């Protein structure tokens, strides 16, 4: 029982420790992710098309050097506002190996087609780890759905690179990130001011870049979101109306009963 | 055409069939005339709601199965294909995913309604048992289904739950190997889980039929918990009174259900299950879906593995003995002042257990979980038998009509 009591008191002690030394290293669960405001939040939220296109540019020029996005196809990019011709051109800019052998029995390289999935930067996990100091950059297709905090977390991570606190020894190849669990992350800060050149006049500060690419990643994870919410509004309105009518009917049926 | 709409229905074909196979008489009996207590409140909606959710789950599941691939290399991707490329596949999957949570929500309310109004008491013990069998089948089906998308939590949840059987002395390990179809959770496991996940819902349908037969034998209990057979004025035909009331309840329920499906489809889910299963990397926290958390808390409250497994299963099986543990002749908690308090404390205890199940099992949550587990069993083994023996119930009304007229204003 005394052991249990001590255990019961430990969290309280832990809390003091957190308050005393701000970035408590051991208390991984204490990280709070700041909330951002997003174009896609709320029951009527939609994706900002311009942000999606800018975000895709960042993915293409920065993220895709290490991260795959294998569940998304080039043809899906029409949802970002690209025309069919633009999508074909984007797909054709990569070389992929055809899944079927040609009539000589050889697997040949060909330009990508709209129906292809996004080309992955590495052939397999081993190749990816070998090129990334042993770390495995996760596939980004579902990243905002696969992390607690969703888009807010991804944004926080991308903007959370800070110099390591004094006295903390950084292992080789590791970077300090305020919001990563344990604060040690293999990925070096991927974004810097002016990392990409936007076609429009949007500033290319790190917060802006992070916001754009996170919007794109959220779309990649939930491409059905706009259709879902639009249908949802209709369905719920219909159900409310129907339920109201049935309630009136119910009152009528039960009125004479005693 | 519509001149005979008020006359009793006489249709040659219907009569021909009915004379040989009386399904129309049966339906008329059980769905129209079926005498139902006139004072059922909205807590009585949840039985029919559960039945409707079961149908929704089976239908959405059948269409999902047409697009799902039960193979460790393709399961995760096939689910994502449903989400992205199958027409309205995202809708099907979100209906099914959230439907599981809705099913348990509805059934738990249904069960607690039974606990409050003493619906398990004679002559409805077998009705109660059949309901518990449905609950156990639902838990098994839900667990099997959660494994199918083959995400991290699918894989590790399957590993943890199947490993529970290794606690059985002597034959534990061989049983686990037999369940897995190999030496770890792998492709054979996924295949059989898919097969069983498709099978069990139809077993549930069968038990639901029996549940209904048992229900219709003695009719519904009611908020006063008194027999309604004595006074014919206490009963009303099921149709139109309860068909329309159930439909209204269904409408309210569907608004809530649709709210989750369309606007917060992953509210009940674990983000880590959107990471493909990786046998080499354990997630930082392995937790079951919310509806299994109270039982998970009981499992983890006991320091010994075998004892924990026994406690967890015991927590469900003790419910089978409820009609005898609670020997009070009075059904409804309305007339049982002490039991009524016990009911609310027990409900709170279950919620506390659910909270503990979601916490890391150490420190305060572990201690609270242990106390709540102890109370869970104390409630059934000690408090209920004592209270049902010594409690002085308030006087019961003669019939439904008497108190209904008197308490109308209250």
Q: Does B256 touch chain A (CB under 8 A)?
A: no
Low-confidence ranges of chain A (pLDDT < 70): 1-29, 258
B229 included as an active-site residue? no
CATH number of the domain enclosing B48: 1.20.810.10
Residues B56 and B89 in one domain: yes
Q: Report the pLDDT averaged over residues B65-88.
A: 98
Nearest to B106 by CA among B47, B24, B38, B33: B47
Same domain? For B255 and B325 the reply is no
Q: Which of B252, B282, B312 is the last residue of a domain?
A: B282
Give percent of chain B above pLDDT 70: 96
B52 to chain A, any CB pair closer than 8 A? The answer is no
Give the angle B189-B190-B191 at the CA atoms, nearest 5°.
90
Residue B383 makes CB contacts below 8 A (sequence gap 6+) with B342
For residue A253, the chain B residues in CB contact (below 8 A) are: 240-241, 244
Residue B404 inside a domain? The answer is no
pLDDT at B407: 52
Note whether residue A159 is domain-resident. Answer: yes
Best probe of the B interface among A1, A3, A8, by most B CBs < 10 A, is A8
Q: Other CB atoms closer than 10 Å to residue B141's CB: what's the count?
A: 22
* CATH number of residue A150's parent domain: 1.10.760.10
Confirm whether B392 is a catalytic residue.
no
What CA–CA distances, in Å, run from B381 to B152, B326, B374? 39, 9, 10
* Any domain includes B323: yes
CA-nearest residue of chain B to A223? Answer: B84
Closest CA to A89 of A50, A63, A60: A60
Parallel/antiparallel/unpaired status of strands A95-97 and A109-111: antiparallel
- The string of DSSP letters for B141-172 reads HHHHHHHTT-BHHHHHHHHHHHHGGGGSTTTH
Query: Which H or E element spans position B253?
Result: helix B238-263
Q: Return the residue in B153, B234, B363 with the most chain A beta carbons within 10 A, the one to mutate for interface testing.
A: B363
What pLDDT score was predicted for residue A91? 97
Residues of chain B above pLDDT 90, percent: 92
Instruction: Report the pLDDT value the prediction gives residue A17, as an integer from 0 to 100.
Output: 38
Q: What is the CATH number of the domain that holds B351?
A: 1.10.287.980
Q: Which domain holds residue A130?
A: 2-26+37-72+117-251
Does some domain include residue B11?
A: no
Q: Return the HEC string of chain A.
A: CHHHHHHHHHHHHHHHHHHHCCCCCCCHHHCCCCCCCCCCCCCCCCCCHHHHHHHHHHHHHCHHHCCCCCCCEHHHHHHHCCCHHHHHHHHHCCEEECCCCCCCCCCCEEECCCCCECCCCCCCHHHHHHHCCCCCCCCCCCCCCCCCCHHHHHHHHHHCECCCCCCCCCCCCCEEECCCCCCEECCCCCCCCCCCCCCCCCCCCHHHHHHHHHHHHHHHHCCCHHHHHHHHHHHHHHHHHHHHHHHHHHHHHHCCCC
Quickly list DSSP for B187-236: HHHHHHHHHHHHHHHHHHHHHHHHHHHHHHHH----TT----SS-GGGEE
- If asked whether residues B190 and B248 sit together in one domain, one would say yes
Q: How many Cβ atoms are within 10 Å of A232's Cβ, its own excluded?
A: 20
Q: Residue A217 falls within a domain, yes or no?
A: yes
Does residue B180 share a domain with residue B306? no
Interhelix angle B75-84/B89-116, rounded to 10 degrees, is 100
Q: What is the pLDDT of residue A27?
A: 42
* Contact residues, A window 113-172, toward B, CB-based 8 Å cutoff: 138, 141-142, 145-148, 150
Q: Is residue B27 part of a domain?
A: no
Domain identity same for B77 and B152 = yes
The answer as to whether B309 is a domain residue is yes
CB contact under 8 A, B254 and A239: yes
| pLDDT score recorded for residue B341 | 97
In a domain, B313, yes or no: yes
Is position A97 within any domain?
A: no
Whether B304 and B371 share a structural domain? yes
Does B301 share its domain with B277? no
Taking the alpha carbons of A142, A143, A149, A150 in that order, is the dihedral positive or negative? negative
Q: Which of B224, B257, B282 lies at the terminal end of a domain, its last residue?
A: B282
Active-site residue B289, yes or no?
yes
Chain A closest CA to B335's CA: distance in Å? Answer: 23
Is there a single domain that holds both residue B122 and residue B240?
yes
Q: Looking at the partner chain, which of A71, A148, A240 has a beta carbon nearest the beta carbon of B84?
A: A71
Rounded to a whole number of angstroms, the distance from the CA of B20 to the nearest CA of chain A is 34
Residue B259 lies in a domain: yes
Lowest mean pLDDT among B2-16, B55-69, B71-85: B2-16
Joined tokens for residue B258: 């649709």
Residues B274 and B301 in one domain: no
- Confidence at residue B406, expressed as pLDDT on a 0 to 100 scale: 54
Lowest mean pLDDT among A171-175, B94-98, B158-162, B344-348: A171-175
Contact between A231 and B240 using a beta-carbon 8 Å cutoff: no
- Any B CB within 8 A of A27 CB: no
Query: Which chain A residues touch B52 with a CB distance below 8 Å?
Result: none
Catalytic residue among B246, B270, B326, B349: B246
B71 is catalytic: no
Residues in CB range of B140: below 8 A, 6 or more apart: B196, B200
Rounded Cα distance, A161 and A148, in Å = 19
pLDDT at B404 (0 to 100): 52
- Residues B314 and B242 both lie in one domain: no
Same domain, B104 and B87: yes
Average pLDDT over residues B112-136: 98
Smallest CA–CA distance, residue A255 to chain B, in Å, is: 10
Q: Report the pLDDT averaged over residues B267-295.
A: 95
Cβ pairs bridging A and B (under 8 Å): 97
Total number of domains in chain B: 2
Number of domains in chain A: 1
Same domain, B360 and B212: no
The answer to whether residue B319 is domain-embedded is: yes
pTM for the complete prediction? 0.91
Contact B258 A232 (CB under 8 A): yes
Helix segments in B318-410, DSSP class H? 322-325, 337-358, 363-378, 384-390, 401-406
Alpha carbons B51 and B104: distance in angstroms, whole number? 12
Using alpha carbons only, how large is chain B's radius of gyration in Å? 24
Angle subtended by helix axes B293-301 and B305-317, to nearest 10: 140
Full domain range(s) for residue B126: 32-282
Q: Evaluate whether residue A82 is within a structural domain.
A: no
Interval B185-209: pLDDT, tens:
999 999 999 999 999 999 999 999 9
Checking if the pLDDT of B405 tops 60, the result is: no
Q: How many Cα atoms occupy the beta-carbon half-sphere of B409 within 13 Å?
A: 1
CA distance B220 to B236: 12
Q: What pLDDT, on the 0 to 100 scale, is given for residue B401?
A: 81
Among candidate residues B222, B254, B282, the one where a domain is terminated:
B282
Tell me what the pLDDT averaged over chain B comes to.
94
Which pLDDT score is estimated for A170?
87
């Amino acid at each position: 029982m005394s052991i249990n009591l001590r255990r019961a008191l430990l969290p309280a002690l832990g809390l003091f420790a957190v308050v005393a030394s701000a970035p408590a290293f051991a208390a991984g669960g204490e990280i709070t992710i700041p909330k951002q405001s997003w174009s896609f939040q709320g029951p009527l939220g939609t994706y900002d098309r311009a942000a999606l296109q800018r975000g895709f540019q960042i993915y293409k020029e920065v993220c895709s050097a290490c991260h795959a996005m294998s569940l998304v196809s080039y043809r899906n990019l029409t949802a970002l506002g690209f025309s069919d011709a633009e999508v074909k051109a984007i797909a054709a800019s990569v070389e992929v190996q055809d899944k079927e052998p040609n009539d000589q029995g050889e697997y040949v390289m060909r330009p990508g087609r709209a129906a292809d999935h996004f080309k992955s930067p590495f052939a397999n996990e081993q190749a990816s780890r070998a090129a990334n100091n042993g770390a495995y950059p996760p596939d980004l297709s579902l990243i905002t759905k696969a992390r607690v905090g969703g888009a807010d977390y991804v944004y926080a991570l991308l903007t959370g690179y800070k110099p390591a606190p004094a006295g903390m020894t950084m292992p080789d190849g590791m970077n300090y990130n305020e919001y990563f669990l344990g604060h040690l992350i293999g990925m070096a800060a991927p974004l810097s001011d002016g990392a990409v050149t936007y076609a429009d006049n949007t500033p290319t500060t790190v917060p802006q870049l992070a916001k754009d690419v996170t919007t794109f990643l959220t779309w990649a994870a939930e491409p059905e979101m706009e259709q879902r919410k639009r249908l949802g509004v209709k369905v719920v309105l219909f159900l409310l109306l129907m339920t109201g009518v049935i309630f009136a009917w119910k009152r009528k049926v039960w009125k004479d009963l005693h | 055409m519509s001149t005979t709409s008020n006359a009793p229905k006489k249709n040659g074909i219907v009569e021909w069939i009915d004379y040989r196979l009386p399904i129309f008489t049966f339906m008329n009996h059980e769905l129209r005339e079926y005498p139902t207590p006139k004072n059922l409140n909205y807590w009585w909606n949840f039985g029919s709601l559960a039945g409707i959710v079961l149908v929704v789950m089976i239908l959405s599941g059948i269409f999902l199965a047409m697009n799902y691939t039960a193979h460790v290399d393709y399961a995760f991707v096939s689910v994502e294909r449903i989400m992205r490329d199958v027409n309205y596949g995202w809708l099907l999957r979100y209906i099914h995913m959230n439907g599981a949570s809705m099913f348990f929500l509805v059934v738990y309310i249904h069960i607690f309604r039974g606990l409050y109004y003493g619906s398990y008491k004679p002559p409805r013990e077998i009705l109660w048992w059949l309901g518990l069998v449905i609950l156990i089948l639902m838990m098994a089906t839900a667990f099997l289904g959660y494994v199918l998308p083959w995400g991290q939590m699918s894989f590790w949840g399957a590993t943890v739950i199947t490993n529970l059987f290794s606690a059985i002395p002597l034959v534990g390990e061989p049983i686990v190997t037999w369940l897995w179809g190999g030496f770890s959770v792998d492709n054979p496991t996924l295949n059989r889980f898919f097969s069983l996940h498709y099978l069990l819902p139809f077993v549930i349908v069968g038990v639901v039929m029996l549940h209904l037969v048992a229900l219709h034998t003695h009719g519904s209990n009611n908020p006063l918990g008194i027999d309604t057979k004595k006074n014919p004025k206490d009963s009303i035909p099921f149709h139109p009174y309860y068909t329309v009331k159930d439909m209204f309840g269904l409408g309210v329920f569907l608004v809530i259900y649709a709210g989750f499906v369309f606007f917060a489809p992953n509210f009940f889910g674990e983000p880590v299950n959107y990471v493909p299963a990786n046998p080499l990397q354990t997630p930082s926290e392995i937790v079951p879906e919310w509806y299994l958390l109270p039982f998970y808390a009981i499992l983890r409250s006991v320091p010994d593995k075998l004892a924990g497994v026994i406690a967890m299963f015991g927590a469900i099986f003790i419910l089978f003995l409820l009609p005898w543990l609670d020997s009070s002749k009075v059904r409804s908690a309305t007339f049982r002042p002490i039991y009524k308090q016990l009911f609310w404390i027990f409900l709170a205890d279950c919620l506390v257990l659910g909270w503990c199940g979601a916490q890391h099992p150490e420190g305060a949550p572990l201690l609270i979980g242990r106390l709540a587990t102890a109370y869970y069993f104390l409630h059934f083994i000690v408090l209920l038998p004592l209270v049902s023996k010594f409690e002085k119930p308030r006087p019961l009304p003669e019939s439904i009509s008497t108190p209904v007229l008197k308490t109308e204003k209250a």
